[in-house]
Structure 1
């Protein structure tokens, strides 16, 4: 046990060194940021934050980046000249503490029609975890239907309820679960920061056309009813929110994918991400259908 704890500025120096190493190693390999993000299964925006020294990476993220660059974790950190052994011990403790204190939860973000509900339920079944929808937790908590919540308090009141309900879930639940997040929460900065701090966030995306097709396939024709510019408005919303969605830790596109293919890809992405977490109990892997039944599209 050490007698004195290094100052936080030492950690900041280490993060700055990491950002320099990432940029240098990526340049040496002539990889674009997009290519490295794909290899490490991170969003391009999150990698940009790492390379700018503003993100606070977990041990899992660092391990995947090291593997993507064919480096050891020590080579990636490249901190031997920067820190004393005591400071190195502090760094490891700090990285491990993020894993130890983080809830074992998967939060699916994205615009309506990306497959959050369908894939979320199926992923939870495969992992033998619980499944929640944040909007349902809010209405259960308030005992007020969703449309009435908006009419009574407006958007600002609903955003406060999002934050309060997430905090309540953090304070009261020790279960492993998958949670579906409403498409607009990402613009609620306090709630989104809380979400990203406590759970693994995955952005599910698809094309604007598929978003619209899937919503209508669910039986909701409201987006098109009496609105000739519905698709333009959808594209505008997606463009506005994309920078927020890109801040999620992981990204999976469901565009032009069969349901089973998207589910398999999502399950594999999650299992790989959780592999470094010793608290995670791995249920049997179940890629693909065992009964050979026909695949269906997302809706």
Structure 2
């Protein structure tokens, strides 16, 4: 395969990390979760970064992490839900990888993120915040090379679809 990396994008709770781990095993590639990498380097959680430094500071860290991560090859990379907001990140992803957008129904996303306190943008009224954020980001993932709706699919079915596309 000529592709340098597979980059998974999508809303929080769309399955990027879970699918990414399974896909990297299938391909024999390294799995990188950019949010986990940021937390490891900063020695704190993303929620804390948002709270103490603000979203803009987090986005700057995220852009830098995406750029550094995509300098390597042979990786399946799971990005944060908002990683697609910066044009420089979208260009970097498209240039250095095959970009796959994972989507899911509103109900699926809400059920997946409602129990997770590590998602700073959807704290509080989860349903209301997820709806608003999904509406704002409706076209943010349109640049992907492939889009897969993960609603009702098993991880194996999603990985099979990705492998077929590659």
Using structure 2 for the length normalisation, give the TM-score: 0.85
Inter-partner Cα distance in structure 2 for 1:263 and 1:106: 12
Number of residue pairs matched? 163
Equivalent residue for 2:96?
198
Residues 154 and 200 of structure 1: CA distance in aligned 2, closer, same or farther (over 3 Å): same
Bigger shift: residues 138-147 or 238-247:
138-147
Equivalent residue for 2:147?
251
**Per-residue deviation at 1:198?**
1.5
**Per-residue deviation at 1:106?**
0.6
**Considering only CA atoms, is the larger Rg found in Structure 1 or Structure 2?**
1
Inter-partner Cα distance in structure 1 for 2:15 and 2:144: 16
Unaligned ranges ≥5, structure 1: 1-98, 272-299
Equivalent residue for 1:267?
163
Alpha-carbon RMSD across the aligned residues, in angstroms, is 2.4
- Residues 190-232 of structure 1 deviation map (CA, whole Å, 9 limit, x = unaligned): 222222222111100010001112224xx427989863xx323
**Contact 1:206/1:253 (8 A) holds in 2:** yes
**Contact 2:34/2:80 (8 A) holds in 1:** yes
Inter-partner Cα distance in structure 2 for 1:253 and 1:156: 29
**Contact 1:104/1:176 (8 A) holds in 2:** yes
2:22 maps to 1:122:
yes
Equivalent residue for 2:67?
167
Equivalent residue for 2:116?
220
Inter-partner Cα distance in structure 2 for 1:233 and 1:148: 19
Unaligned ranges ≥5, structure 2: none
Inter-partner Cα distance in structure 2 for 1:168 and 1:265: 28
Specify the SS of the correspondent of 1:106: strand
2:80 maps to 1:189:
no
Structure with the largest fraction of helix: 1
Structure with the largest fraction of strand: 2
Specify the SS of the correspondent of 1:132: strand
Residues 225 and 243 of structure 1: CA distance in aligned 2, closer, same or farther (over 3 Å): closer
Residues 257 and 215 of structure 1: CA distance in aligned 2, closer, same or farther (over 3 Å): same
- Structure scoring higher RCO (CA < 8 A, sep ≥ 6) equals 2
